Every structure is written in C-alpha cells, then in structure tokens.
A and B are shown apart, each in its own frame.
Chain A
Amino acid sequence: MWEAIESNRRRSWILIVLMGALLLALGAVLGRLIHPRQGLVLGVCIASGVWLVLWLVAAFQGDRFMLTMGGAMKIERRDSPQLWNVVEEMTIASGSAKMPDVYVIDDERPNAFAIGRNPEKQSAVAVTSGLLRLLDRDELQGVIGHEMGHLKNRDSAFLVLAGVMLGAIVLLADVFLRGMFFGRRRSRGGGDGQAVVLILAIVLAILAPILAQMLYFACSRRREFLADASSARFTRYPAGLASALEKISSRYEGGKQETNRVLAPMYIVNPMSALAAVGLFSTHPPTGKRVQILRGMGGGSAYADYEAAYGKAFGQGSALLGKRTLAADTAAPARAAAPKAEAKQDAVARSKDVVQLLGRLENFLLMTCTCGLGIKVPPELKRDSIPCPRCGAANPVPRAEAGGSYRRAHPADWESFRCACGATVLLGPGSTEPEASCRACGGSVRIEPSA
C-alpha cells in the first residue's frame, strides 16, 4: 500500500529502453570501426558485457560500496534513540514490513540518502551529522519520510539500474575518445565508408553521454516530487519537510560543495550547487518549488492535496501522481506541529548530542574527571593516564579484562573502559545489563552497579 510508483513505471521503462538503445548503438558503431565485418556484433557484445559487469557489481556490492565511500557508520537504537524512533515511525506509517538499517555520516553538510534494492528485505537510510545538528524532530521526520518514500517507490533500485547504464555509456565513449586523440591510429584503408563510420562514432561518443545524462536526470527529478508527496502522506505534516528543505538549502547557498557526482541523485538536496543552476542537468528540482508545493497543500496531507498544489505550481494540466494512486488514497488532514522546546536551547542540546554520538561511533574513550569535566580520548592514544584539561588531575584510564569485572562510575551517563585487547567498550546511560562484550576480541566483562 501507499506506493506512488504507478505513474512512474511506464516512464522508467521507456527511459531504460532508450538508454539501452543508446548503449547498444554506441557499441555497434565503435565495433564497426574496429572491424568492418564482424565488428558490429562484437561491439554490441562488448557494450552489453560492460553493462552486465557494472550492474552485477552495483547490484551485489553497491550498497556497501556507497556506504563505505560516504564514510557511513551503522548505529543502534541506543546510539541515537530519536533518529532510531523517527525511522521506526516512518516504517510504520509507510506500512513497510522491515525497518531499514540506520547509518550516520560524519559530515557537517546536512544531507540524507536511502539505498536498497528491495525495501522489504534489505535497505538503509543514512543521514549526516550536520543534518542531525540542524533539524528538529518534525523536520527530521519529514526528511526520513522522504527517504522512506524513495524506498517505497523503488527509486533506489531504479537509480542503480539507470545509473549503471549511464556509467557504461560514459565509459565506452570515454575510452573511444581517449583512444582517438592519444593513440596512434592505424589506417587500414577502409575507404569512404569507414570515414563516415568514424564521423558517426565521434558524434555518438560525444552526444550519447549527454543525452543519457539528460534522460537520467529528468526521471530522477520527477521522483523527488513523488518522494515529497509520500513524505507528506506518511508524516501528515508537510510543513516539517518544507521547513527542513529551507534550512538545508540555506546552508548550501554560496558555499562550494564537493560531492561525488554518482552519489548526487541519491541525496535529499543536490549538493552540487553549480549543477543545480542548470535546469536540464540537475538531478533535483529547485528547492524553492518543492517548498512552495509542500506549503501550498492547504491543510491536507493526502496525495490529492499534493497533486493539487503541484498543479498550481506548474500550471494547470501538469500531473504528477497516477489516477490509480489518487483513487486508492483517502482524505488525510495534516496534523498539528509537535510541541517544541525553545529553539535555541533545543539546538544547543542537539549539537551536544551529535558530538557525543560521533565520539561514540568513532570509538572514543569517554570518561569523566573528578572535577566533572567529560573527557574524550581518541582511540589511537594508548596512554594509561589522561591529564584533565581543566584541573590538571591525572585520570587513570579505566580498564577491565575479559572474564573480569568493571564497576560503573557514572551510571547516568555514557562511559567506557579499555578492554585488555586495547579496544574500547562503551556502556550506555541507565543500562542495567549485567555483562558487556568487547566488539574486538569478543570477551565479556561483568558489569557491577556503582557503589
């Protein structure tokens, strides 16, 4: 239920077929150039071979690759209860059978993305630390709802398929053009026919990547609107996502961003501001338009409300959602905003939480000096005693051995000790578990409550 996929399915197939045709044509022409007779078939085979290999790699290793390239760290509920809860809420609201894994990326630029071939089996959402620092609960919910919409509408799976095709086209064209300009060409005297093929090949090699990119981006832009519509439907609070988009895009204005071009379509807001200015080549629609639609939903949050606001923003007659999706939908008035803590206080608390979260994820040793100052020790620092930066007192690093025991010093806070193997073991606030196991060596340590 609640997929907004139907209106996009036909478009996506057309796109895939067109891109496939481009790829094969490119392969055929290049092959013909190498060998006038058998080259045609050979070229087609090579082109599909390149595509197949790239697709297999992307489909089976892509998720892990994307996450590790982005430097994403997997979290558990206790690491960031609020983020975890929000993802859980959106899983319920979207009616998904399985909650996606949750990742955090240490990056001050606010952003989020979702990946996964089959959202019912294996999927993940990743958010940057900058996003957690910037957004309040309602806004975070809007962003996660948007990512959930991408998963539910199978956008990630599609983007992988289309992206790999784009990659194959770019690769073939690139190899050919480089060979043309830097390699020594043996002229085999094919006559006029060969000259025509050569010109055709050059034109195709230059045009194909541009065409493919335009197709790819046009489709992914449409999917952004659909994911926005899904987010409003799931959260029943379009203002949350609207406000999040405003906050995020104001962070990007002016600053030059360096982000991987392959990853760009996956993010919630396009990080490549230079590209975003060019209409046809941007993966994301202009944020202003998205906010305008979300804010113009007239107190509703159903797909029909989004469709009406979309029509208003782009002129009557422009349709986004399919008839069947709209017919199956029910009326859904937007809910009221959640009660908020004071904005500034809230921002300070969030900031502190994010710093602590990153410290924990990066295996910092967390200890508290007798003067009350919290000290974070980087995992590389293997000293046995840490001087307090405020009062100067030497604090011995708490240790425990596998099979031994550890007495908690600050049960209401995060604290950690060093295992005999050198790794850091972390204990959560208020945790009453009798044992903690070391992630590095697997040994378990008895935990005793504080005296």
Chain B
Amino acid sequence: MVPWIILGVVLFIGMIGVFWMIGSYNGLVKSRNETKNGWAQIDVQLKRRHDLIPNLIETVRGFATHERQTLENVIQARNQAMGAGNVGDRIKAEAALGGALGRLMVVCEQYPDLKANANFLALQEELTSTENKISFSRQFYNDCVMQYNTRIESFPSNVVAGMFQFKPGEHFQLASEAEREVPRVKF
C-alpha cells in the first residue's frame, strides 16, 4: 500500500513539474516572438526611410542648388546603411544616416521657396513620422528585450531557458546624443 502512495505522490509532483515547464516554455516563446515582431517593425520603418530619400533628394536639389555636399552625404549614408552586413554595422550606419538627414533638414530651413513647396511639405511630414516611428518601435523593441532577458536570467524560468537554449536579446542603442555630430554653421 505504502509504495503505491509514494509512487502516486512522486507522479503527482512530476506532473506539476511538467505542466510548469510547459507553461514556462510557452511564456518564453511568446516573449521571444514579441521581440522578433519588435525588430521586424523597426526594420519596416528603416526601409521606409531608405525609400523616401531618393524623392527627397530630387525635390531638394531643385531648390537648394548650393548644397551638393549635404545631399551627397545623405546619399552616401543611405547606400552604406543599405549595404551594411551585420546588425552592429547596420545600427551604426542607420545612426549616421539619421544624422545626415537631420543636417539636411536644417539646411532646408534656409530656403523659403522649398519650405512652401507642397511636395516638400508632404515629404517632410513623412520623414518626421518615419523618424518618430523608428524611435517608437525602437523603444518598444528595447522594452520587450528587457522583459525577455529578465525572464531568461531570473529563477526559476532560467532553468527552462537554459535547457532549451534561449539566448538573450540584443538592445538596439543608437549612438548617444553627445556622439552625434552637431550641424556646424559656417560664417
């Protein structure tokens, strides 16, 4: 009789353990998928920014004839960002592109005709919004990564994470504000 009771208790505990593992595993997968979706969202917005640039360059070129260098910088930064291989390079190149675009927009402020152009205004709104969407999706991604990493590292879910080799996610950090090049005004 007694062995049967012991066996039953062991089986019961084992079953609870299995259910807990299933729940924990599913939670981790959900969390990981959230970070994946977050990254995909950033990707969509970065691509959108690349797509906007040729049109913007064409429009600005017609009005701001003395700004060849600034335009060249933007084109170059875009090409670099599009050609970047690994994630680290890509983040760096996208940050540089953001800086180059920011300088271009500052330069555009000096051309009243350009600022009154309907096409330019529409592009400016699209660009502003895309920059916003990049930063919002970056924030969301980073928040997701933080929650996911906390789950992987903290007990007891780290046991399951270790068993199934869940790898911690990488934060998306742009260069800090100080590192960004400030547009210089020439006199």
A residues whose Cβ falls under 8 Å from a Cβ of B: 1-2, 81-82, 85-86, 88-89, 92-93, 95, 137, 234, 236, 328, 330, 332, 335, 338, 412-413, 429-430
Contacts and interface: CB of A to CB of B under 8 A. Distances in A.
Interface string B127-149: 01100110111011001101100
Contact of A89 (B119, B136, B147): B136
B119 A430 contact: yes
Contact of B136 (A82, A93, A137, A328): A93
Interface string B20-44: 0000000000000010001001000
Interface string B152-187: 000000000000000000000000000000000000
B125 A89 contact: no
Contact of A328 (B38, B119, B132, B147): B147
Given A85-B129, A338-B128, 16 more contacts: A1-B143, A81-B125, A81-B126, A81-B129, A85-B126, A85-B132, A88-B129, A89-B132, A89-B133, A92-B41, A92-B133, A92-B137, A93-B139, A95-B38, A332-B139, A429-B118
B60 to A, nearest CB: 16
Contacts of A328: 147
Nearest to A95: B140
Nearest to B117: A412
Contact of B140 (A88, A93, A413): A93
B18 interface: no
B106 to A, nearest CB: 9
Contacts of B132: 85, 89
Contacts of B126: 81, 85
Contact of B122 (A86, A92, A332, A430): A430
B31 to A, nearest CB: 10
Contacts of A236: 139
A82 B119 contact: no
Contacts of A95: 38, 140, 144
Contacts, number: 52
Interface in B59-85: none
A413 B133 contact: no
Q: Chain B: interface secondary structure?
A: helix
Contacts of A413: 118
A344 to B, nearest CB: 15
A2 B146 CA distance: 13
A51 B151 CA distance: 44
Contacts of B147: 1, 328
A429 B118 CA distance: 9
A45 B140 CA distance: 48
Nearest to A349: B121
A61 B149 CA distance: 43
A234 B139 CA distance: 9
A85 B140 CA distance: 17
Contact of A1 (B119, B129, B136, B144): B144
A373 B133 CA distance: 37
Given A81-B126, A328-B147, A330-B146, A412 B133 contact: no
A89 B131 CA distance: 10
B30 to A, nearest CB: 11
B81 to A, nearest CB: 20
B125 A412 contact: no
Contacts of B118: 412-413, 429
B58 to A, nearest CB: 12
A85 B136 contact: no
A93 B129 CA distance: 12
9 contacts: A1-B144, A81-B129, A85-B125, A85-B128, A85-B129, A85-B132, A89-B136, A93-B139, A330-B146
A97 to B, nearest CB: 9
A89 B146 contact: no
Contact of B129 (A89, A234, A330, A332): A89
Contacts of B38: 95
